Amino acid sequence: MRQLETYPASLAAFDRLCGAASGPVGVAVSGGSDSLALLYLAQEWARLRQRGVMAFTFDHRLREASAGEAAEVARISRALGVEHRTLVWDEPVGRQSAARRARHAALAEALKAAGGAILLTGHTADDQAETFLMRARQGSTWYGLAGMQPVSLSPVWPEGAGLRIARPLLAARRTDLRSLLADQRVRWVDDPTNDNRAYERVRMRQMLAAMPGLFDAIARCQSDLAALRAIEDTRLGRWLRDHVQVSGGGGLDAALAPLGRESAARGIGLLIQFVTGRETPPRRENLQSLTDRLLSQRAFPGATLGGAMVTRKAALVHLASEEGPDRPDSLLNARLGAMWSLFLGQP
């Protein structure tokens, strides 16, 4: 195949994101062009670096063709000498949020069972631009407009505890990845939903195609915002490490004083996710309203937001799940530590 040395940026990204990983590096492969190209590049990187990779396909069982598509990914993996596993959703539900959670949970459990801790996904520069437009329309702050990060924690807990998601192709264009596959005479699956304008991402993709120059403008903007976000994440990482602690009974205590208003709202959003186990924080305007009340000198009788109970005593804010502790403090402490380690660039 075309050697990965001809893709120096990709090689450097794999080294940076996976070089220190223990166990096999997992690759999430759906059968689409982006994830198949990721599989080829990951296999070549593993060959050059004498590392192990495993491919995983999650069959949502929501389309008749999905089983055949998973079988084709398995065939391609075998031809590359890559071990492959198909994971099946036993109780499929036609809801995107449920499908996403089921997929991430199954992938996390399968990779961890194999001894891996890094899962690669095929998000590209095109995905970044589409995400920018979607978030801009939704009124995102500069922090969200910085786009997907090269590394993040698994969004599902406790299944994803100890697992990181890495995206080595964020600088790659989809057209280049498809050229790589065409060189190998590999056919990819085009999901019919990719042309359904009912989905906002499809509409953004079509807008980018119709407006030459828009992609480059977004890429320049995101590059600057990503640099700012790295500074902000370092600040949040130090705060999580030095000013937040598990208080017992599934709760967290935090001092907000070291953070400014905007950063404090982000911090509270993270802590709510930690104590509730939810994949996303509450809406920004609700977080900011709660944070303003917590930072004010007025009496604070307590509040609930995003499934968390929030109280304040002196300079400390206490957060706990409304449903009570349903996971051990050790897991909460692990998630807290995993997040500040990620933000501070530690393995």
Q: Report the side by side order of strands in the sheet with 151-153.
A: 83-88, 53-59, 25-28, 118-120, 164-166, 151-153
Tokens read off for 214: 């828009």
Please check whether residue 309 lies inside any domain of the structure: yes
CATH of the domain at 76: 3.40.50.620
| 101/243 same-domain check | no
Residue indicated by tokens 């530590």: 337
In a shared domain, residues 59 and 162:
yes
Does residue 221 form part of some domain? no
Confirm whether 220 is domain-assigned.
no
Q: What is the mean pLDDT of residues 57-72?
A: 90
Closest by alpha carbon to 344, among 243, 261, 233? 233
334/257 same-domain check:
yes
In a domain, 218, yes or no: no
Contact (CB, 8 A) for 253 and 244: yes
Q: Tell me the one-letter amino acid at 197.
A: R
Pick from 178, 211, 244: which residue ends a domain? 211
Same domain, 177 and 277: no
**Residue-number span of the structural domain to which 258 is assigned:** 235-343
Same domain as 86, residue 198:
yes
Which residues make Cβ contacts (< 8 Å) with residue 63, sequence separation at least 6?
A: none
Q: How many domains does the chain have?
A: 2
Q: Are residues 204 and 310 in the same domain?
A: no
The pLDDT tens digits of the residues spanning 143-190 come to 999 999 999 999 998 899 999 999 999 999 999 999 999 988 999 988
Is 230 inside a domain boundary?
Answer: no
Domain endpoint, select from 195, 211, 227: 211
Q: Taking 60 as the threshold, does the pLDDT of residue 2 lie above it?
A: no
Q: Please give the C-alpha separations between residue 198 and each of 93, 192, 202, 325, in angstroms, as whole numbers.
A: 19, 12, 8, 39
**pTM score:** 0.93
Whether residue 226 is contained in a domain is answered as no
